[in-house]
Amino acid sequence: MQVEGESWFYSDIVKKHFLDPQNIVKDKKTIKDFDGYGQVGNMKCGDIMEMWIKIKEDKIIDCKWRTFGCASAIASTSMLSVMVTEKGGMKIDKALKITAQDITKRLKGLPSIKIHCSVMGDQALKYAVWDYKTKNKRDDIIMDQPKETDH
């Protein structure tokens, strides 16, 4: 694939999710009625990600996000938001098992130097579920308190 005369290092699916991200939040004022919120990242590397989830009957039925990051971070989070909401929503326990490798596989790969970008989405999701769990006193949701990894 060529982009303005240079090779494009990403799959067509990554390109699609980067150029037309799904479930992205452009204005935080539009976020209403969400059950959990998560934020990860640091300004040292420049990537910051926020995620909002809506839960019904223990399924994630909506997932909105915004990130300040590279094409891989944007595409990875867009894909994650699709993964957890498709087919009527994913059960919380199953969503907590999503790994960076699962996201990368759905994207048909990422350059090896960009794999760390796919980690942000699953971390933000874990923080959002933790927020939901603690606010709603849902001790039946089995998970460790998330700890952000330095990417």
Q: Which residues are catalytic?
A: 45, 117
Look at residues 81, 75, 116 and name the one whose alpha carbon lies nearest to residue 98: 81
Q: Which of helix, strand or coil describes residue 51?
A: strand
Q: Which of helix, strand or coil describes residue 55?
A: strand
Cβ within 8 Å of residue 112, ≥6 positions away: none
Look at residues 58, 44, 65 and name the one whose alpha carbon lies nearest to residue 124: 65
How far is 54 from 64, CA to CA, in rounded Å? 9
